[in-house]
Amino acid sequence: MLSTYQPSQIILIEAEVWPNLIHYASRRKIPLALVNARLSPRSHSRLQTARPLLAPYYQKLSFVGAQSEPDLPRLQSIGIKPETLHLTGSIKFDPALQPPTRDLPDLEPLLTRLGSGPILMALSTHPGEELLFARAASQIPQARLVIIPRHMERRHDIQAELSQAGFPTHLRTQITNPSHLTLDPHQPNILLIDTTGEMPAFTPHATLAFIGKTLLAHGGQNPCEAIAASVPLLAGPHFENFEPLATQLREARALQTISSPKELVAALQNLVESPSRAQTQAQNALHILQAHHNATLKTIQHLAT
């Protein structure tokens, strides 16, 4: 492969460190870099056990860009040379802090048609979370409910489930003119976003946002767009895919964690009734995310030197 492509530099991502590739690239004097590197405490313990075997390969890296401060000592302890290790932030989180690259649609007429109360959103939801959120959010007086599922192909199943539970549900793709939208005056109406790429346009309008795949499923979805838009967040306990960010948010009281539907209702009520508390939480989260600002540019600048 190296003979075929003849790379002038090889850039590895996060934890994709392949000893065989490093060995042969080093023999050809091809510089190797590891960008967006992170090392969880669990992985750190495992790799420390294998340090005698792996350290010689890690020491061949000419540059390592770490996502966060806690990653630095862990990466160094498995054999990465201190002079090659730099804190760059996460290139995964960086885009949320950048200005939009395209014009976003004007959603005010549609959202105004839904009412004038707080806009409660559920972002990147997974099966079961839509109905759970709808039942909790519908208890907030005059709330406008917006649900953006992670997989748009589930839209008809979600609509059927919500409608069967008594929630009038309107698909975004079926609304051509907001003024023609017929609402049920006796029930909370739900706007179900079944389009792709509109989350950045909807999210800044949210009063509060619940992050999906955190309560009934494990791993969590990306909260960074909502954080960058200064939207207060709620989530379940399962945010494993976004460590250490999730722990940093919790420790800074920048994320309200709930573990049951009852707690979700209480958390929504508390934040809606206390805008100052909600805004403080959102600002705390934004402060944490800003540590990753320009991570992509920092990484490129290091690679270019």
Give the mean model confidence (pLDDT) for residues 48-52: 88
| Predicted pLDDT at 245 | 92
Give the mean model confidence (pLDDT) for residues 15-25: 90
Q: Give tens-digit pLDDT for 153-193.
A: 999 999 999 999 999 999 999 998 999 899 988 888 999 99
User: Residue 78, Cα to own-chain centre: how many angstroms?
Assistant: 28
Element containing residue 58 per DSSP (H, E): helix 51-58
Give the mean model confidence (pLDDT) for residues 117-142: 97
User: Are the C-beta atoms of residues 245 and 93 closer than 8 Å to each other?
Assistant: yes
The residue type at 216: L
> Percentage of the chain with pLDDT > 90?
81
Torsion angles phi and psi, residue 34, rounded to 5: -120, 115
The sheet carrying 32-37 orders its strands as 10-13, 32-37, 63-66, 85-87
User: Are the C-beta atoms of residues 276 and 232 closer than 8 Å to each other?
Assistant: no
Q: Give tens-digit pLDDT for 1-19.
A: 788 889 999 999 998 889 9
| Predicted pLDDT at 3 | 83
DSSP state of 237: S
3-state secondary structure 171-237: EHHHCCCHHHCCCCCCCCCEEECCCCCCHHHHHHHCCEEEECCCCCCCCCCCCHHHHHCCCCEEECC
For residue 218, CA distances in Å to 53, 124, 164, 246, 258 come to 33, 13, 26, 13, 14
Q: Give tens-digit pLDDT for 228-272.
A: 999 999 999 999 989 889 999 999 999 999 999 999 999 999 999
Element containing residue 27 per DSSP (H, E): helix 19-27
Cα–Cα distance, 160 to 168 (Å, whole number): 10
DSSP state of 114: T
Average pLDDT for the chain: 93
Identify the band that residue 126 occupies on the pLDDT scale cut at 50, 70 and 90.
very high
Cα–Cα distance, 231 to 209 (Å, whole number): 7
